[in-house]
Chains A and B, each alone.
Chain A
Amino acid sequence: MANVLHIVVCAGMAPDPLQTLEPTTGPNGPGIKNEMVLPAVLDPWAASALYEAASLAAKNPGSKVWLVSLGPKAKLQQVMMTVAQKVGFELVPVDGPIGGFPDAHATAAALADAIEAIPGLDRARLLVFGGWESATRGAGVTLQLVGERLGIVDQFQGVDQITLREDGSFEVLERVEGGKHQVSVCAGAPAVLGWATGNLPEPRNNPQVGMANMRTIMPALQKAKSVALEANGLKYVAVNLPRQQRETRVEKNLSAEEIAREIVEWIEKDNR
């Protein structure tokens, strides 16, 4: 029974990256234009954490997965319609604002509170998962702060693999410079793991998993506690989206070398 795990995955939502995203400045500071209108997805880094959690739980019978997510109820619900068909979990929704760039301390506090309030959660079995980054507003520190607040000192970031051992200890591969991994061994739970991409493909949609999840997701959403995120005096000076530029041309008679040269020139144009 040493390996029964309680895995809590912290996953935010991001506007579907396939949409046209445009930054704007509103009364509460910078944000993304029409964010409520755009469909959202589970933050892709955190999604890999969720799939890893589910796979780990499946390999360790008796284990359980919770998904803690903060966002407006309507968005959470929309995202659940796609995520809930993938793997089994129990949702712990926190009804909060979306848009803008909230203070990571405030977000971490709300998430940590939600985790502490999960009934039956056993700290000795607790692994807190999340993305090591976010596709939209990665502060880069949220997950660490959650760990700090929960008093968990074993923290790993950029994780691509976890291998559990019989005695409850586990080996973690963390991404380091130069495309390499650092190997660490941790004595056991509790620990915080911020996932990179992991190694698992996106699971297929399974209608039965969806049905089972929804039985608990909808009541949880209806009861979701709402929080207001304090700005704590934080102000953003400027926000930029990664720049996208597109130029299309059909070329039939250029050699591959010439095309490559032109592309390099085009890219360099920006850096001059």
Chain B
Amino acid sequence: MNSAAQTVEVDRQTMDVDIVCAGFGPATGGFLTTLTQAWSQNPADPAFESKVAPGMPLQVLCYERADDLAAGVSGVVTRAEGIRTSFPALDPAEVPMAAPIRQERVFYLLDPIGASRRSLTLRMGDFFLGLGKTLWVKDSAFELPWTPVFLHKHGGLVLSIGQFNQWVGSQLMASGLVQIWPGTPVSGPIFPEDPGGTKRAVAGLRLADQGVDKHGIPAEGYMPGMNVRAQLTVVGDGPVGAVGQRLDERFGLPAGHARREWALGMKFVIELPEDTALEAGTVWHTFGFPEPEIFGFLYVHPERLVSAGIFVPSWMGDPGRTVYRYLQHYIQHPLLWQHLKGGALRSWGAKSLEESGKHGEPFLAGDGFARIGEGSGSTNLLTGSGVDEAWTTGAQLGEAVLELLRAGKPFTQQNLSETYEKRRRASWVERGAREAENARNGFYGGFVRGLLGMGLAGLTGGRLSLAAHIPPAPKQIRRFGAYGKAGLKLREAAALAVADGRPLHDALMTARGWPEIPFDGRLLVTQQDALLMGGKVQAMPGFADHVLFLDRNRCIQCREKTCIAMCSGQALTLGDDGAPAFEREKCVHCGACLWNCAQSPDGERSNIEFVAGSGGLHSAEN
């Protein structure tokens, strides 16, 4: 196994630096921007002298897993408050694909097909809406008369995260003060010698081994991953990052916290037809279709580009969660299709969202390390916003580090807690997180209850919310029944899948009454074709597999195989032995397999280990 192979002690290079960062997303962008903006005002300030290389400037490095800084995936519509604080003179025209928000609307989508799983209450509601068809319902959609205040992103921006990260990254590199290296996965933290095992401390990062086979065994051109030792390790590796995961394993989470709430966001970037009526800066939020639990979005960028996508949450109990097919049905909903029809798919992408918020917040700092961004629980599930929050937590750490550097104080747990944590707790990010803390609880008792709970929390600033017991992610997945209606559907689908060789989950959707996708080779294309579009998926040779199955027997016996159904890249398929087979070259590193396992070995975690890997999607537009 990879992690085992990586613990074999070999002759590793070691490098000492002052600050090392794992992952380059908006969180690390905010951190490095804050640091370099202050530093470049007075590069000779002795506060910025290196501790590890006296006489030299501070040595600051950042390692990003993806092959390019522009390879991220996100929506994005953002209030951009934090981002604007860092760049007060920000002109959206400078950032490709950015536009100021002009219009925000929220729609409840009815199901014009009749295939979605709607509860009796919901059907009654739909019926009621249907009565007023001409009045309230147009294009099978009911527009909310106003946008709830918690969803408002007034004065904000529509962005492409790839373009934004690239823009931030090039400014940082141009400062000449920090180095950001893409194509370099970090395998995990280095822990200092700690015989008692009681310290919450990190001494740096270890980069992934290169020149190994898929099992991590040294092969031709073996190059053991370097140990980068640092005074401060900044962990900004997002929702499923390897460093964050190892820290949680080692230190646990604060009492009462658990990471159980997830969603997969998948999106298309579509070039609209030339006569489109959609204006750049248009923002639509939707709910109700293709399944009640699936929230969707449509954001319009300049130059006739649009991002359209959906979020499939862990609390959608169905084990046949097959997001790509759902997304294809989503864009064909009459409300969207009237605009998208005749468009061309430019790019596509998927990524997990860690939606536990405060419920899953880890220890934010320890001796020699701090955590920022989504992996630190910053994403706000009520407002559906993570970018500005991530950016702001990074900027707060940046300010804290400046304060400590100027005071000549070391990066101890106490010092970081008095500077970084204190700033964070006093900020709008924390207030928002508290308001959102229990906003989604209601969904564990059904969709309608969920909407009520969300409205309640949203409108009372989190003072009122519904209580809930949130089960571990594997337990949120319903089991396939062997008998009854569901069992019959499963057998029908299995017969269909065997007959025409398509994936089982896709056949399952068809068996449930979802119409076949009318492929047109431009916008509606097979999932395999999507992998080749707009920044084809690929993986550098010489790295180990990063999706590992802990107990293959468990997989063989597992009926649900939710990991395969959910896999965004069709990188997981059914292997000959009945367990999933993993193809690294097709993986988009969305991290969905990490929380889409129906059979937990210990009741909490999944049967999959998701470690650091190289490659993925090359799209710059997502």
Contact = CB atoms under 8 A, between A and B. Distances in A.
A234 interface: no
B1 interface: no
Contacts, number: 107
B529 interface: yes
B181 A81 contact: yes
A39 B618 contact: yes
A222 B71 CA distance: 26
Interface of B: 13, 15, 61, 63, 67-71, 96-97, 163, 166, 169-170, 173-174, 176, 179-184, 207, 210-211, 221, 223, 226, 228, 303, 346-347, 500-502, 521, 525-526, 528-529, 532-536, 538, 542, 618-621
Given A81-B173, A82-B67, A37 B179 contact: no
Nearest to A252: B501
Contacts of A207: 15, 61, 63, 181, 184, 207, 226, 228
Interface stretch (A52-60, A103-111, A208-216): A208-216
Interface string A57-82: 00000000000000001100110011
B245 to A, nearest CB: 22
A34 B96 contact: yes
Contact of A38 (B63, B176, B500, B620): B620
A37 B97 contact: yes
A218 B184 CA distance: 20
A19 interface: yes
Contacts of B207: 207
Consensus secondary structure, chain B interface: loop
30 contacts: A18-B536, A19-B535, A20-B346, A20-B534, A20-B535, A34-B96, A39-B68, A39-B71, A39-B620, A73-B174, A74-B174, A77-B174, A78-B69, A78-B169, A81-B181, A82-B68, A82-B182, A82-B183, A85-B181, A201-B221, A204-B223, A205-B184, A207-B61, A207-B63, A207-B228, A208-B13, A208-B15, A210-B181, A222-B174, A222-B176
A211 B179 contact: yes
Interface in A172-221: 201, 204-208, 210-211, 214, 218-219, 221
A247 interface: yes
Q: Across the A-B interface, give the 8 residue pairs with the lowest CB-CB distance, nearest first.
A: A218-B176, A18-B536, A18-B618, A250-B501, A204-B210, A37-B96, A252-B501, A39-B68
Interface string A1-36: 000000000000000101110000000000000101
A74 B176 CA distance: 13
B621 A37 contact: yes
A261 interface: no
Contacts of A206: 223
A242 to B, nearest CB: 15
A247 B522 CA distance: 11
A77 B63 CA distance: 16
Contacts of A243: none
Given A20-B533, A39-B166, A246-B532, A85 B183 contact: yes
A248 interface: yes
A247 B183 contact: no
B535 A77 contact: no
Contacts of B532: 246
Nearest to A245: B521
A247 B521 contact: yes
Nearest to A38: B620
Contact of A19 (B182, B223, B620): B620
Given A18-B535, A81-B173, A210-B181, 10 more contacts: A19-B535, A37-B97, A74-B170, A78-B69, A78-B170, A78-B173, A204-B223, A205-B183, A250-B500, A252-B500
Contacts of A37: 96-97, 163, 620-621
Contact of A204 (B13, B71, B166, B542): B542
A81 B180 contact: yes
B221 A204 contact: yes
Contact of A39 (B70, B221, B521, B529): B70
Given A18-B535, A248-B529, A250-B502, A78 B166 contact: yes
Interface string A250-266: 11100000000000000
A208 B13 CA distance: 9
B511 to A, nearest CB: 17
Contacts of B184: 85, 205, 207
Nearest to A218: B176
Nearest to A250: B501
